[in-house]
Amino acid sequence: MRLLVTGGAGFIGSEFVRMTLATHADSSVVVLDKLTYAGNLANLAPVLHEPRLRFVHGDICDAALVADLARETDAIVNFAAETHVDRSLQAPGRFIQTDVYGTFVLMEAARHAGHERYLQVSTDEVYGEVLMGFSAEADALRPRSPYSASKAGAEMLVSAYRASYGFPALVTRGSNTFGPYQYPEKIIPLFITNAIDDRPLPLYGSGEAVRDYVYVGDHARAVDTVLRRGTPGEDYNVGCGNEVNGIRVAGEVLRALGKPESLIAFVQDRPGHDYRYALDSSKLDALGWSPQMEFAAGIATTVRWYCEHEDWWRPLKSGEFWEFYRRNYKPLPALAACRDF
Ligand code: NAD
Ligand code: TYD
């Protein structure tokens, strides 16, 4: 299979590329990536020498470029997206552009190139917050942040292309993912790198919001499973069924690093904060996938990786990162005078 992997220099996309090249000797990969603040060629360093990999620096919204690359390949796996909820609250426009319009450009190119498979990497956040029970694939999409709305908008287009053109699209809806090579803005890599430097770990609101964390290797394998064994036209949840709140994330990180709980700092809640996501992933399990990494073991592995790869993440926590950070985190009014975030 000749794959066009968009967003392949990002966190999950690069894991998928490294895994594909290691496990499918008959597959080749073209990575198309814009190298935004979240994209990093260093994520592909372990495989850049590989003759079955070609890297193209470009934008999924560039229709002419995407059409050329689609003609050279058999299937598209679309990881490319703006992905951070807090950034979508500050600047939603580029989420609509990349996540919605970019998906349209990719599907048009795939359709005209006659591809028999297209995989849209989506998120559990499209279901909106689920206070009780578990989301199943047939549930309604009720996104509540500009990020999740942009991912749901892309899914609406996928759905329309399936109905209108018989477009052979598969969708994966993954839960919160963690592991090596994750840009240090999402909770786990942010807390690990802050704790290494004895900086506060900012927990939104009460710290009780729940996520279902999946390890990056398990998520990449799920995408591979759906791509190769899934049925076009179907959607697949990707979750582990564990429910972890922010307080536990902070506790596991601090324990793994031997740092004190006094580093936890409650801050003003995220606007529109989804209190809980939870997935029923039995449809994916039926394809033969099961997660291999347990949460605490995954945290220990991830903490070790960040401790051993300061050269990878330290340059990312500079300049623009701290501008975003200062705009984003607001101390609780009572603490405003005594804590510096
Ligand atoms: P990431 O932010 O680490 O990487 C995104 C990649 O896309 C970067 O390499 C970036 O340069 C690239 N990109 C952005 N805009 C582009 C454009 N216009 N053209 C080409 N490339 C562009 O993201 P991630 O965490 O690896 O997420 C990958 C996918 O998985 C996304 O679609 C995301 O919505 C989905 N997802 C992520 C999570 C998670 O917890 N991280 C969970 C579920 C689903
Ligand atoms: P995040 O990693 O941003 O993923 P998402 O919001 O897309 O699920 O956040 C995961 C959870 O952690 C969410 O409930 C918000 C919370 N959180 C904090 O408490 N502090 C933080 O600094 C961040 C980034 C997230």
Lookup: tokens for 115: 């591809």
Residue 235, CA distances (Å) to 101, 120, 152, 226, 242 in order: 20, 9, 13, 9, 21
What is the CA(38)–ligand 2 centre distance, in A?
16
- Our mutation pick for probing the ligand 2 site, out of 99, 123, 185, 204, counting the most ligand atoms within 8 A of Cβ, is 204
**Mutational test site, ligand 1, from 4, 6, 11, 85, max ligand atoms within 8 Å of CB:** 11
How far apart, in whole angstroms, are the C-alpha atoms of residue 75 and residue 114? 9
Sign for the CA dihedral angle at 311, 340, 199, 188 comes to: negative
Which pLDDT value is given to residue 334?
62
Residues enclosing ligand 1, CB less than 6 A? 6-7, 9-13, 32-36, 38-39, 59-61, 79-83, 98, 102, 121, 123, 151, 174, 176-177, 183
Tell me which of 4, 5, 12 to substitute to probe ligand 1's pocket, judged by most ligand atoms within 8 Å of the beta carbon: 12
* Angstrom distances, CA of residue 115 to CA of 7, 16, 61, 64, 66: 19, 20, 19, 17, 13
Ligand 2 atom nearest to CA at 249: 12
* Active-site option among 59, 82, 86, 125: 125
Out of 15, 82, 86, 124, which one is annotated catalytic? 124
C-alpha 54: how far from chain center: 22
As given in the structure block, the two tokens for residue 260 are 């004190």
> What is the H or E stretch that residue 284 is in?
helix 282-285
Task: Work out the burial of residue 172: count CB atoms within 10 Å of its CB; fewer than 13 is exposed, 13-18 middle, 19 or more buried.
Answer: buried
State the distance between the two ends of the chain, measured CA to CA, in whole angstroms: 48
Span 158-166, mean pLDDT? 98
The domain locations on the chain are 2-178+212-238
pLDDT band at 333 (very low <50, low <70, confident <90, very high): confident
Instruction: Find out whether 74 and 113 touch, Cβ atoms under 8 Å.
Output: no
Q: What is the pLDDT of residue 300?
A: 97
251 burial (CB, 10 Å; 0-12 / 13-18 / 19+) is: middle
With a Cβ cut-off of 6 Å, ligand 2 is lined by 85, 125, 176, 186-187, 190, 202-204, 209, 211, 246, 270
Would residue 147 show up in a list of annotated catalytic residues for this protein? Answer: yes
- Using CA atoms, how far apart are residues 116 and 106, in angstroms rounded to an integer? 14
The CATH H-level (homologous superfamily) assignment of domain 2-178+212-238 is: NAD(P)-binding Rossmann-like Domain (3.40.50.720)
**At which residue do the structure tokens 């073209």 appear?**
30
The residue type found at 24 is H
| Residues in the chain, total | 341
Average pLDDT over residues 305-329: 97
Query: Do 122 and 174 meet the contact criterion of CB atoms below 8 Å apart?
Result: yes
- Residue 100's contacts (CB-CB under 8 Å, 6 or more residues apart) are 150, 153, 154, 157
Q: What is the pLDDT of residues 94-135, one digit of tens each?
A: 999 999 999 999 999 999 999 999 999 999 999 999 999 999
Mean pLDDT score, 212-226? 98
Provide the 3-class DSSP secondary structure of residue 5: strand
Say if residues 37 and 63 touch (Cβ distance below 8 Å). Answer: no
Across the chain, the runs of DSSP E, i.e. the strands, are 2-6, 28-33, 53-57, 75-78, 117-123, 169-174, 177-178, 201-204, 210-211, 214-215, 235-238, 244-245, 264-267
Which ligand 2 atom is nearest residue 204's CA? 19
pLDDT, tens only, 234-266: 999 999 988 999 999 999 999 999 999 999 999
CA of 51 to the centre of ligand 1 (A): 24
Give residue 332's pLDDT band: very low, low, confident or very high (50, 70, 90).
Answer: confident
Pairing, β 177-178 against β 169-174? unpaired
pLDDT tens, position by position, 95-104:
999 999 999 9
What CA–CA distance (Å, rounded) separates 290 from 305?
23
> What CA–CA distance (Å, rounded) separates 139 from 159?
14
Which atom belonging to ligand 1 lies closest to the Cα atom of 151? 34
Q: For residue 87, which ligand has an atom nearest its CA? A: 2
Which residue has its alpha carbon closest to ligand 2 atom 24? 187
* Selection from 123, 81, 121 nearest residue 279 by Cα: 123
Distance (Å) from CA 82 to ligand 1 centroid: 6
How many helices (H) and strands (E) are present in the chain, helices listed first?
A: 13, 13
Give the pLDDT score at 113: 98
Cβ atoms 69, 32 nearer than 8 A: yes
Nearest-CA residue for atom 29 of ligand 1? 79
Give 195 Cα–ligand 1 centroid separation in angstroms. 25
Task: Choose, from 118, 127, 147, 204, the residue flagged as catalytic.
Answer: 147
| Alpha-carbon gap, residue 163 to 122, rounded angstroms | 19
The confidence band for 54, taking pLDDT boundaries of 50, 70 and 90, is: very high
